[in-house]
């Protein structure tokens, strides 16, 4: 009995690995094209970090004329949830970062390198495990959980590294006949990798983001095939990234410690290793310290949060790009009108330590993004959001013609309004513009000029003598100054500042009184435009 017999006994029906080597031919791509993937486990929560990774991977693929694919890593069936994969893919679709190849939302494959779901690749992994068994680079291990616990306990007592390595590998040198007999006997087992490593030796790894790192060689005989016949992540990713032609593995830096093992697996399997780019996790300031954005503690960790809040997808993507490459912000300033796709992303510029994810900054970016939208775009997106999340706003927006006028105030010019960061802001921002809503939540807190008689005087005189609905903006403004002058206020702020004792105030104080009277607020977009949209009849009612 030899290794071949053992391999045949364990995997009697699998194809020879050469079948897969021939089936998945090298990708025919232009020189320099990169193949990247996002490889989530479908645990039922679409993390913003996943969108971040996909955005980066897709960007590099597009920039180099390569491929971005998504592989669902569902070999840990205990952690998996129903529809986990389709939720991830739907989110990528919504954000327009859908991969070139993956499983379709209905579960079928789209691409020539599939299946793109690991649980459907069992035979492939087993073929390669069989190859390793035949070569003596893998072996069956019969240690029970109790035995493994005992080994761990002994290691802890002896203050040695834990794991299955070196002198602790009980089954590594088991005679083949004995192993065959045990299997025939029905003893349960798993398959382990026989690591050729020596931890006294070092390996050098050049990470695309982190630069050169040195590690001791791996000597752990890790499990490659579990008792359910499915592979472990380590083994599966090596085979998949090889057969699917990945050129750069972009993944979270929690995996960087696995590099010695992964490079060793590639080597022993006879594969050329891809490049690795380990990116830092998204971090958040919590009190005085930084911590990882947490699925449990931070609502903004879920991609669904942005939809609920009504933060446009473009804002989320722009902000993520901002985090990924700090030069994006400057590029955006210099190219305010260009599509984000035109930005040259440089993976080497990604930060080595945790990237700060800051909602305040995200909303700031979003204000800029929305400020460039037309009234029609703002209308359509708020309407879509309101349909799902805000009945009252939806009712307000039903009057489309009027709403477009309201949303068009201070928009489309070269200094557009920047007060909307998310669709859930819209209702409050435009509330007073709707006659049936006005007065309902306005506070009417007058500012500097707050004496009732003075307010009345200003409003009365303005509407009796100066206001004319058909005035253009300049005339309107000049009249505001005339009114100021007539009532003892300075025409210009400058004049007032030079000699405050000569005036009751300045033209700004006068327009603030008018503004508060007709809107209930002291901060609004352009008052002239507001008055135009409200129209004379409504203004008369309000005063």
Q: How many helices (H) and strands (E) are present in the chain, helices listed first?
A: 22, 14
Find the shortest distance in angstroms from Cβ 323 to ligand GLU.
19
Site for ligand GLU in 155-214 (CB under 6 A): none
Specify the stretch interacting with ligand GLU by CB under 6 A; choose among 124-132, 135-143, 181-189, 248-256. Answer: 248-256
Site for ligand GLU in 260-289 (CB under 6 A): none
Among 48, 55, 66, 73, binds ligand GLU (CB under 6 A): 73
Specify the stretch interacting with ligand GLU by CB under 6 A; choose among 35-43, 198-206, 274-282, 366-374. Answer: 35-43
Find the shortest distance in angstroms from Cβ 39 to ligand GLU.
4
| Beta pairing class for 211-216 and 202-207 | antiparallel
Name the residue among 236, 330, 317, 327 with its Cα closest to residue 52.
317
Nearer to ligand GLU, 133 or 238 (CB): 238
Q: Which tokens sit at 311? A: 């933060």
Quick one: how far is CA 421 from the chain centroid?
Answer: 18
Specify the stretch interacting with ligand GLU by CB under 6 A; choose among 19-27, 39-47, 142-150, 385-393. Answer: 39-47
Nearer to ligand GLU, 267 or 446 (CB): 267
Kind and range of the H or E run holding 14: none
Neighbours of 166 (CB within 10 A): 16
Helix 375-389 with 423-430: angle, nearest 10 deg: 100
Cis preceding linkage at 240, omega within 30 = no
Task: Fill in the per-residue mask, 121 to 160: x = in contact with ligand GLU (CB under 6 A), - = not in contact.
Answer: ----------------------------------------
Nearer to ligand GLU, 253 or 318 (CB): 253
Specify the stretch interacting with ligand GLU by CB under 6 A; choose among 37-45, 55-63, 475-483, 502-510. Answer: 37-45
Q: Cα–Cα distances in Å, from 126 out to 10, 191, 228, 236, 246?
A: 9, 10, 12, 10, 20
- Does 240 contact ligand GLU by CB under 6 A? no
- Does 119 contact ligand GLU by CB under 6 A? no
- Does 39 contact ligand GLU by CB under 6 A? yes
Q: Which tokens sit at 237? A: 């990713």
- Asked if 166 and 219 count as a contact pair (C-beta separation under 8 A), the reply is yes
Residues with Cβ within 8 Å of residue 486, at least 6 apart in sequence: 461
- Asked if 136 and 197 count as a contact pair (C-beta separation under 8 A), the reply is no
Specify the stretch interacting with ligand GLU by CB under 6 A; choose among 33-41, 139-147, 332-340, 387-395. Answer: 33-41
Among 47, 121, 130, 237, binds ligand GLU (CB under 6 A): 237
Find the shortest distance in angstroms from Cβ 398 to ligand GLU.
44
Q: How far apart are CA 329 and CA 322, in angstroms?
A: 6
Among 47, 122, 242, 251, binds ligand GLU (CB under 6 A): 251
Find the shortest distance in angstroms from Cβ 288 to ligand GLU.
29
Nearer to ligand GLU, 233 or 389 (CB): 233
Nearer to ligand GLU, 350 or 393 (CB): 350
Say how many CA atoms lie within 13 Å of 142 toward its Cβ: 16
Specify the stretch interacting with ligand GLU by CB under 6 A; choose among 38-46, 304-312, 362-370, 528-536. Answer: 38-46
Residue count of the chain: 543
- Asked if 323 and 283 count as a contact pair (C-beta separation under 8 A), the reply is no
Find the shortest distance in angstroms from Cβ 282 to ligand GLU.
14
Backbone angles phi, psi at 119, to 5 degrees: -65, -15
Q: Look at the alpha carbons of 389, 390, 391, 396 in this order and tell me if their dihedral is positive or negative.
A: negative
Nearer to ligand GLU, 70 or 514 (CB): 70
Among 7, 36, 40, 310, binds ligand GLU (CB under 6 A): 40
Name the residue among 70, 7, 48 with its Cα closest to residue 358.
48
Q: How many residues bind ligand GLU (CB under 6 A)?
A: 9
Q: Which tokens sit at 278? A: 């380990």
Find the shortest distance in angstroms from Cβ 52 to ligand GLU.
13
Nearer to ligand GLU, 43 or 90 (CB): 43
Q: How far apart are CA 126 and CA 231, in angstroms?
A: 8
Backbone angles phi, psi at 192, to 5 degrees: -110, 150
Specify the stretch interacting with ligand GLU by CB under 6 A; choose among 22-30, 34-42, 332-340, 535-543. Answer: 34-42
Nearer to ligand GLU, 57 or 518 (CB): 57
Nearer to ligand GLU, 124 or 433 (CB): 124
- Using only C-alpha atoms, what is the Rg of the chain? 33
Find the shortest distance in angstroms from Cβ 218 to ligand GLU.
17
Find the shortest distance in angstroms from Cβ 351 to ligand GLU.
19
- Does 41 contact ligand GLU by CB under 6 A? yes
Quick one: how far is CA 331 from the chain centroid?
Answer: 20
Specify the stretch interacting with ligand GLU by CB under 6 A; choose among 36-44, 186-194, 210-218, 441-449. Answer: 36-44
- Does 529 contact ligand GLU by CB under 6 A? no
Nearer to ligand GLU, 142 or 233 (CB): 233
Burial class of residue 131 in the structure, from the number of CB atoms within 10 Å of its CB (0-12 exposed, 13-18 middle, 19+ buried): buried
Q: What is the DSSP code string of 131-188?
A: HHHHHTSEEEE---HHHHHHHHHHHHHTT---SSBGGG-TTTT--HHHHHHHHHHT--
Chain contacts with ligand GLU (rule: CB under 6 A): 39-41, 73, 233, 237, 249, 251, 255
């Amino acid at each position: 009995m030899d290794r071949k017999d053992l391999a045949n006994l364990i995997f009697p029906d699998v194809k020879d690995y050469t079948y897969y080597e021939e089936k998945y031919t090298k990708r025919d791509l232009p020189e320099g094209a990169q193949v990247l993937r996002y490889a989530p486990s479908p645990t039922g929560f679409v993390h913003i970090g996943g969108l971040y990774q996909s955005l980066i991977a897709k960007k590099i693929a597009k920039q180099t004329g390569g491929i971005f694919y998504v592989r669902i890593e569902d070999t840990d069936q205990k952690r998996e949830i129903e529809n986990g994969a389709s939720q991830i893919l739907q989110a990528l679709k919504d954000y327009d970062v859908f991969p070139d190849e993956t499983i379709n939302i209905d579960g079928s494959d789209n691409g020539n390198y599939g299946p793109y779901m690991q649980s459907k690749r069992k035979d492939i992994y087993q073929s390669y495990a069989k190859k390793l068994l035949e070569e003596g680079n893998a072996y069956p291990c019969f240690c029970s959980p109790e035995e493994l616990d005992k080994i761990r306990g002994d290691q802890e007592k002896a203050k040695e590294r834990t794991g299955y390595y070196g002198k602790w590998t009980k089954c590594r040198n088991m005679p083949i006949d004995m192993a065959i007999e045990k299997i025939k006997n029905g003893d349960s087992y798993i398959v382990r990798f026989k690591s050729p490593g020596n931890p006294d030796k070092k390996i050098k790894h050049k990470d695309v983001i982190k630069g050169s790192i040195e590690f001791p060689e791996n000597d752990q005989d890790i499990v490659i095939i579990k008792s359910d016949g499915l592979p472990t992540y380590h083994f599966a990713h090596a085979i998949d990234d090889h057969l699917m032609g990945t050129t750069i593995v972009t993944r979270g830096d929690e995996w960087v410690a696995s590099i010695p093992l992964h490079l060793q697996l590639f080597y022993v399997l006879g594969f050329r290793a891809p490049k690795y780019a380990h990116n830092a996790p998204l971090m958040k300031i919590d009190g005085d310290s930084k911590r990882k954005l947490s699925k449990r503690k931070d609502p903004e960790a879920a991609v669904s949060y942005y939809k609920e809040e009504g933060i446009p997808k473009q804002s989320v993507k722009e902000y993520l790009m901002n985090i990924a490459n700090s030069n994006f912000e400057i590029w955006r300033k210099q190219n305010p009108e260009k599509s984000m796709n035109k930005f040259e992303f440089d993976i080497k510029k990604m930060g080595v330590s945790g990237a700060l994810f800051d909602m305040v900054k995200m909303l700031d970016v979003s204000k800029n993004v929305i400020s460039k939208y037309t009234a029609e775009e703002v209308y359509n997106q708020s309407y879509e959001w309101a349909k799902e999340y805000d009945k009252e706003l939806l009712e307000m927006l039903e009057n489309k013609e009027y709403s477009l006028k309201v949303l068009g105030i201070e928009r489309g010019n070269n200094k557009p309004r920047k007060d909307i960061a998310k669709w859930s802001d819209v209702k409050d921002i435009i509330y007073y513009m709707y006659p049936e809503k006005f007065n309902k939540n306005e506070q009417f807190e007058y500012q500097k000029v707050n004496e009732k008689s003075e307010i009345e005087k200003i409003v009365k005189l303005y509407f009796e003598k100066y206001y004319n609905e058909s005035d253009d903006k300049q005339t309107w403004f000049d009249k505001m100054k005339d009114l100021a002058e007539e009532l003892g206020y300075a025409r210009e702020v400058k004049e007032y500042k030079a000699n405050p004792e000569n005036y009751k105030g300045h033209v700004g104080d006068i327009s603030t009184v008018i503004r508060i009277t007709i809107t209930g607020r002291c901060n609004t977009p352009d008052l002239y435009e507001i008055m135009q949209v409200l129209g004379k009849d409504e203004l008369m009612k309000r005063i």
